[in-house]
Amino acid sequence: MFFLELTAVFFGVVSVLYAKKNNVLVYPSGIVASAIFVYLLIKWGLFGDFIINIFYVSMSIYGWYLWTRKSNGKALLNISRTNSKEKIIASIIFIMAFIFIWIIYIAFDKFDNWTAYLDTLTTAIFFSGMWLMAKRKIENWIFWIVGDIITVPLYFYKGLTMSSFLYFIYTFIAVAGYLAWRKSIEESKGHKLETV
C-alpha cells in the first residue's frame, strides 16, 4: 500500500507540474496517479475522493482531447478566463457534485464523522476545478488551491500522511500554476496589441 501510494504521489506531482507548464502530458501522468488512487481510496473508505478520481480519469481523457485539437498547426484551446456562461456551468457542476456525493454518503451510511462533510465539500470543489482545467481556464487553479488547503489537514487527521504531504505540495504548485497562467494571459494580450 505504501509503495502504491508513493507511486501515485510521484505521478500526481508530475501531473500538476505539467499542468503548471501548460503541457498536455498533465493528462497521461494524471490518469496513472488517479487510477492508483481509485484503488487506494476504496481501501481507505474515502468515497468522495474515490469518486473524484473516477471523474479525474474521465475528465483527463476529455481534457487530453481538447488540449490536443489543432487547426493549421495551432492549438484551438488557449489559456483564458471564464466567461459568464462558464461560471454558471462550473457552479452547476459544484452543486451537482455536492448533492451526488451527499447522496452516496447517506446511502452507505458514511456520515459518521465530521471528515465526511469536508470530503463532500472538497469533492465538489475538485469536480469544478477539473472541468475548468479541461477547458484551460485560469480559475481552475483557484479551485485547486482552496480544495488543497482543506485536504491537507483532513488527510493528516485521517492518518494519510503521504497523501497529506502530496496535497501540501499541490498547494504550492497550484499557486505557481495560477501565476504562470496569468502571465501567459497577460503576454498573449500584449502580443495581440502589438499585432493590431
Residue 6 has pLDDT above 60, yes or no: yes
| More confident site: 49 or 139 | 139
Q: Which domain holds residue 52?
A: 2-68+89-195
Is 153 within a domain? Answer: yes
Is 135 within a domain? Answer: yes
DSSP conformation letters of 117-180: HHHHHHHHHHHHHHHHHHTTBTTHHHHHHHHHHHHHHHHHHTT-HHHHHHHHHHHHHHHHHHHH
Residue 195 has pLDDT above 80, yes or no: no
Residue 193 has pLDDT above 60, yes or no: no
Domain count within the chain:
1
Q: Closest Cα partner for 49 from 119, 130, 98, 104? A: 119
Query: What is the reported pLDDT for 192?
Result: 57
What pTM did the predictor assign?
Answer: 0.85
Comparing 34-38, 106-110, 134-138, the range with the smallest average pLDDT is: 106-110
Q: How many CB atoms lie within 10 A of CB 114?
A: 10
Kindly state the average pLDDT of the residues 60-68: 92
Is 7 within a domain? Answer: yes
Is 84 within a domain? Answer: no
Comparing 25-39, 101-115, 116-130, the range with the smallest average pLDDT is: 101-115
Is 120 within a domain? Answer: yes
181 CB-contact burial (10 Å; exposed 0-12 / middle 13-18 / buried 19+): buried
Query: What is the reported pLDDT for 48?
Result: 65
When the pLDDT of each residue in the chain is averaged and rounded to a whole number, the result is 88
Is 83 within a domain? Answer: no
151 CB-contact burial (10 Å; exposed 0-12 / middle 13-18 / buried 19+): buried
Nearest 5°: phi and psi at 156? -65, -45
